[in-house]
Amino acid sequence: MRAMVLDKPGQPLQLRDVPKPKPDRGQLLVRVSTCAVCRTDLHVVDGELPNPKLPLILGHQIVGQVEEIGGGNSDFAIGDRVGIPWLGRTDGDCTYCRSGRENLCDNARFTGYTLDGGYAEFTVADARYCFHLPDRYDDVEVAPLLCAGLIGYRSYRKTGEARRLGIYGFGNAAHLIAQIAVYEGRELYAFTRTDDKATQQAAKELGAVWAGGSDEMPPEKLDAAIIFASVGPLVPAALRALAKGGIVVCGGIHMTDIPSFPYVELWEERVITSVANLTRRDGDEFFEIAPRVPVRTDTKTFPLEEANTALDLFRAAKLSATAVLTISK
Ligand SMILES: [Zn+2]
Ligand SMILES: [Zn+2]
């Protein structure tokens, strides 16, 4: 089968013919239809995340069709549409798994990072971690929901009942989560790069009550802020915009260093937290609410062979939509 393979971080992916994977017991062999590109893919390619499987097939927002089932009972039948997310496997047995926090599992494996992913014609996945996808979306539209949507949703849930919600870094995840926030009656404040009027306008069209640069203060103090940009200095910036008791949620897997700041900016019970990975429950909740809103995705397709082009455009911030690789019809 054809796959785009990462041999070493810092190098472009190589288009290669590799052996088609075989499903073990409990696994699905999936013919990949689409795979959305995530910022995490860039972090892996650029060597910003430790110890990826090498050589590696990237991609953890995979949509495809079940081609074969490797034995055992499964929720899926041959021919079913299936979504494969970032969380590929857990041990089910550590203190985190046993306390409903499988996203923190000590022995978790991750699709497109420590397991091969979806930049390929076929992939295998543990059926227990795969999702059935809402019918209202086609294979291209639904792909970005599998990470930007799902982990964005986990970040959003960490903000509790916050009425005034700030979002820093208005990319793919923000675009999706903003729609749910507005649907749920939150007041949305969008923070973009300084002078990025186009993105500020787009945020307002999605229902933001205010949009400005991340160096600006919002007109009202915020109850919560989510940071989707991988820019450490946004943490103290977001803290300064919070009301007492407010929370800053860092939604990314990697961030540049956070500069120091005076304790008084954290005092009065402000909280800084981060989000790691997802649980299957996050996915079930998100795929229930997304079609009701309905959350719309904005995508630009690339053939599999052009994965490097998609990654380069993403890195250079030259994509205004989520890149989705199209692999089979
Ligand atoms: Zn575990
Ligand atoms: Zn991702």
pLDDT digits (tens, 9 = 90+) for 184-227: 999 999 999 999 999 999 999 999 999 999 999 999 999 999 99
Q: What is the rounded distance in angstroms from the CA atom of residue 323 to the CA atom of residue 220? A: 34
Ligand minimally distant from the alpha carbon of residue 109: 1
> Please, are residues 167 and 191 in contact by the beta-carbon 8 Å criterion?
yes
Quote the ligand 1 centre to 178 CA distance (angstroms). 31
Contacts of 94 (CB under 8 A, 6+ apart): 105, 106, 107
Ligand minimally distant from the alpha carbon of residue 95: 1
Ligand minimally distant from the alpha carbon of residue 102: 1
Instruction: Please name the helix (run of DSSP H) or strand (run of DSSP E) that holds residue 40, with its range, or none.
Output: helix 39-45
Ligand minimally distant from the alpha carbon of residue 228: 2
Quote the ligand 2 centre to 149 CA distance (angstroms). 9
Single-letter amino acid code for the residue at 59: G
pLDDT value for 328: 82
Quote the ligand 2 centre to 37 CA distance (angstroms). 8
Name residue, tokens 């017991």: 25
Quote the ligand 2 centre to 38 CA distance (angstroms). 5
> Please, are residues 301 and 140 in contact by the beta-carbon 8 Å criterion?
yes
User: Which residues of the chain are under the pLDDT cut of 50?
Assistant: none
Quote the ligand 1 centre to 25 CA distance (angstroms). 20
Ligand minimally distant from the alpha carbon of residue 40: 2
pLDDT value for 73: 78
Q: What is the rounded distance in angstroms from the CA atom of residue 123 to the CA atom of residue 18? A: 11
Quote the ligand 1 centre to 89 CA distance (angstroms). 9
pLDDT value for 329: 60
pLDDT value for 72: 81
pTM (2 d.p.) = 0.93
Cα separations in angstroms, 303 against 2, 15, 307, 327: 12, 12, 7, 6
